[in-house]
Structure formats: structure tokens, C-alpha cells
Amino acid sequence: AQDGKALPDYVAWKDADDLIVHSKQTLETRRGAIGSGLVTPSEDLYIRNNLPAPSEEIVADRDAWEVNVEGVAEPRAITLGELKTLGVETVACVLQCSGNGRAFFDHETSGTQWSVGAAGNVVWTGVPVRDVVAAMGGVADGMDWLTGTGGEEIPEGVPKETIQVERSVPKAAMERAILAWEMNGQPVPLAHGGPLRLVIPGYYGVNNVKYLKRLAFTEKESPNKIQQTSYRVRPVGEKGAPSQPSMFEMNVKSWITGPLEDAETGKVQIHGVAMGGTETLEKVEVSTDGGQSWNEAQFLGPDMGPYAWRPFVLIADLGQGSHLLASRATTVGGQAQPEEVEPNERGYGHNGWRAHAVDVTVL
């Protein structure tokens, strides 16, 4: 990678030139590499692991992978091979870390200083969770949450609540959730959760549990730290608590991906990507003067649904001098990116358009 750090072994197959290696567990897609890409190539997709990835052995015999399904009328373990016989669906959705954009907050935040690249648009194929539920007699009474547990081994002596990746989302999310075995047309790579991943379109990355070993309908949210106190939005200086909003559904957002540096005088293509969170986009506007005036950009390529992103472009005439290029997306429901966002302790969910603007000088 260009910042000097080599790709870790488990992601050695990725494109080093397109990635920023923050650490062994955190790799970000370069802003320029996102370009106007409709689907993020797997080689460019960011990585965020809360725990080290399991060994490659778990993808040696994919169809033999077992998931325990609980909180249904007829709970049991089921193999990936059998899941493939229950139903299949393909969905395009943005995979985005809760902390994407953390670097744009003014206050000091701990955690990876992601710019825009802890996000990608991914095509997943798998079985709808509702088909799994139907095959097992329906959700048991009194269950309000859909809980997924990651397949990492928890070292002996470590209380699992403290580190295990287990996330609960409101039960209603099962209508759009899938258990995916394919990513961008290939078996899900280990680094992205193979052999089987819980994908919840419209929900922040953390809820998309990798190497899924348990899918449970539960009365309560997971007791684990990652659910109870982490990934909670709270004022700066406050500790995480279950009463605070959890990082569930994503918000409307867009960012420019080019040009990022000095441009030539004259007509240029200003391009970027925009997402509605959970709603279809109505429009993206682009400003070349730091938000004083706006022009509607053109979407590029097909609309892949409310959970996917859309590349956009505006052809603009840039004169000599410096230009602050900004983009602002609006959904059909009228959700628009704000100019500024309230700071929050962990630096989650930044979608303010001003901080995402890029300064370009035309020579």
C-alpha cells in the first residue's frame, strides 16, 4: 500500500494501491479509488475486524458450515448446504462502518480515523431469513430481536460478553435480512465473513455479522458489550449505555470522489457516490463554491434499489483559482444531508456535507 504498510496475509489478495492500511484489522478504500464505481470490487472493499479473522480452515468445506437457529418453533442446527435449498435472493446494499467519516469530526475521537472509504456497494446472494424462519415453524412467541453471533473463537478465560461479536437488531429487520454465501458473484471471502454472513440491508456494518454461527430470535438484545454499550450514539464525554441510540439504520449521505487534486481549467467531470440509507434517492446536488450555489447532478448507471449507492456526475466549468466541491443528497422522503452534524463521543454516522467537501485548485 502507498502508506508503506503491507497488506496483512488474510487479505493479501486485495489491491494494495487502492487501500489505506490503518492496521491489520482496519483497511480503508482510497477516496479516488471509489470513483464512479457502481459495485465496489472485492479487491477494493474496506475491512473492519473487531477480532482477528478465523483461520482459512473454516472456508475449506463451505457447505458443511453449521448455523444454530434458535428462537423459532423448531430450533435446530442447519448446514450451509441445506440453507441453499430453502430459498435464494440477491440484494445490492451499502456496507458501511458506523465510524466511517470519523476523521471529519472536530473533537478528538478514539478509533480508526476513517475518511470516506469504510464503505462499499456490494452485491450479496443468500437465503432470505424469512425463508429460514418459515422452514422452522415461525418465530417463537415473545421474541423482539434478531440476534447474530460471529464465529470467532473466544480465547479461554476471556468472558465472551467482553469481546464476542454478537449483534441484535429489531425483529422487523428479518423481512430484508439474508444469510449470504456469495459476495459480488463469488463465494464470500473469509475476510468478509465467509462461509456465511448475516446481511441486513440499510443497517450499519457492525450488524452484518461475519462467519455467522448462530441466528437467534431473542427476547432481549445481546448482553455483549458490542451491543450494550459500544456502537451507541451519545454526547462527547459520556460513557456508552443501553438507553442511547444504537447504530442500526444508516442515514442519507454522499461524497465526491474526484477530482481530488489540482485540475485543469475548463470543463471537468465531478463525480461521487450517494446513498439514501434505507430510502430511494431523489437527487444529488453538487456545489463548486462551498455551498453558495448548487446544481443537480446526473445519476450514472442503474438504480440497484433503496439500500444500494448510486454514482453521480456533474460536468462543470471550473475557472482558475480554488474551488470547494461539495455534494448533498436528498431522498424521496425528503431526508437531506445536513451541512453540519452534532458531535458524538465515538464519532459515528457523520453525514455532514461541509466536512466531506474537497478543496481543488485549478491552475
Contact set with ligand MSS (CB under 6 A): 45-51, 95, 97-98, 150, 152, 165, 192-193, 204-206, 208-211
Please give the torsion angle defined by the CA atoms of residues 255, 257, 258 and 261, in that order, rounded to the nearest 10 degrees: 90
- We find the least distance from the C-beta atom of residue 230 to ligand MSS, in angstroms, to be 9
- We find the least distance from the C-beta atom of residue 52 to ligand MSS, in angstroms, to be 9
Measured from the CB atom, the residue of 48 and 328 that comes closer to ligand MSS is: 48
- We find the least distance from the C-beta atom of residue 183 to ligand MSS, in angstroms, to be 8
Measured from the CB atom, the residue of 11 and 133 that comes closer to ligand MSS is: 11
CA nearest neighbour of 47 among 74, 16, 26? 26
DSSP state of 26: E
Measured from the CB atom, the residue of 205 and 352 that comes closer to ligand MSS is: 205
DSSP helix/strand/coil, 355? coil
C-alpha to C-alpha distance for 323 and 316, rounded to whole angstroms? 11
Measured from the CB atom, the residue of 46 and 255 that comes closer to ligand MSS is: 46
Measured from the CB atom, the residue of 8 and 259 that comes closer to ligand MSS is: 8
- We find the least distance from the C-beta atom of residue 50 to ligand MSS, in angstroms, to be 3
Amino acid at the residue 304: M
- We find the least distance from the C-beta atom of residue 170 to ligand MSS, in angstroms, to be 17
> Which stretches of 129-195 are assigned E, i.e. beta strand?
145-150, 166-170, 178-183, 186-187
DSSP state of 15: -
Measured from the CB atom, the residue of 212 and 325 that comes closer to ligand MSS is: 212
10 Å Cβ neighbour count for 111?
14
Measured from the CB atom, the residue of 56 and 261 that comes closer to ligand MSS is: 56
- We find the least distance from the C-beta atom of residue 213 to ligand MSS, in angstroms, to be 9
Measured from the CB atom, the residue of 208 and 335 that comes closer to ligand MSS is: 208
- Give rounded-to-5 percent helix, strand, coil for the chain: 15, 35, 50
- We find the least distance from the C-beta atom of residue 25 to ligand MSS, in angstroms, to be 8
Amino acid at the residue 308: A
CA dist 63 to 10, 20, 293, Å?
21, 33, 55
C-alpha to C-alpha distance for 246 and 226, rounded to whole angstroms? 10
- We find the least distance from the C-beta atom of residue 67 to ligand MSS, in angstroms, to be 13
Amino acid at the residue 298: Q
CA dihedral sign, ordered 45, 51, 56, 58 = negative
C-alpha to C-alpha distance for 351 and 347, rounded to whole angstroms? 11
CA nearest neighbour of 45 among 56, 34, 54? 34
